[in-house]
Amino acid sequence: MKCMYCGHTESRVVDSRPTDEGSAIRRRRECEKCGRRFTTYEKVDSVTLLVIKKDKRREPFDAEKIRRGLVKACEKRPVPLAEIDRLVREIETTAYNSLEQEIATTQIGEMVMDGLKRLDEVSYIRFASVHRQFRDIQSFMQELNELLLENAAAK
């Protein structure tokens, strides 16, 4: 850290403590050249992740929307809320770790379906029917048959 008084680049941290309800760290530093003290603040640099909707609009990523969709898909199913929250965190982490600034709703939907397939197959089918917008019984049956084949191959 560069000293604000003499411009020297070497300093030592004398004191550190959290501020802003833990969202930042306040550091007291002492310049190794002039000995004067100064304060710095360290914050996590949050990256804005935008979601590209089907109509090409963009809006900020909102994990709560994913959670609401999962809760709806898992309604009246034996899926614990803790598992839903874990899946939401997993999807959010994957989206932010992609290092992209934008992600399509189709990508998010596929991540949700992959997670639901592991949690509960009925909830998966419910979500897939909305996400993939099955137009007729034939496309719905095709998805069910693929799921049955995957289960048979896994066993």
Tens of pLDDT, residue by residue over 14-26, are: 999 998 778 789 9
Q: What percent of the chain has pLDDT over 70?
A: 100
* Domain assignment of residue 100, given as a range: 50-154
Cα-based distances in Å from 16 to 11, 52, 69: 14, 40, 41
74 shares a domain with 35: no
Cα-based distances in Å from 59 to 33, 51, 153: 48, 5, 39
| Helix axes 121-131 and 63-73, enclosed angle (nearest 10) | 120
70 shares a domain with 140: yes
122 shares a domain with 138: yes
C-alpha of 101 from chain center: 12
pLDDT for res 101: 93
103 shares a domain with 37: no
The token duo for 40 is 């710095």
Q: Does any domain span residue 88?
A: yes
Q: Does any domain span residue 63?
A: yes
pLDDT for res 12: 96
150 shares a domain with 122: yes
pLDDT band at 55 (very low <50, low <70, confident <90, very high): very high
pLDDT for res 155: 77
65 shares a domain with 38: no
- The mean per-residue pLDDT over the stretch 91-108 comes to 92
30 shares a domain with 65: no
User: Taking CA 29 as the corner, what is the angle to CA 23 and CA 32, rounded to the nearest 5 degrees?
Assistant: 155
65 shares a domain with 33: no
65 shares a domain with 34: no
User: Taking CA 51 as the corner, what is the angle to CA 131 and CA 56, rounded to the nearest 5 degrees?
Assistant: 80
100 shares a domain with 122: yes
Q: Does any domain span residue 5?
A: no
pLDDT for res 141: 84
> Does residue 150 carry a pLDDT above 90?
no
67 shares a domain with 37: no
How many domains does the chain contain in total? 2
pLDDT band at 56 (very low <50, low <70, confident <90, very high): very high
104 shares a domain with 36: no
Q: Does any domain span residue 4?
A: no
pLDDT band at 48 (very low <50, low <70, confident <90, very high): confident
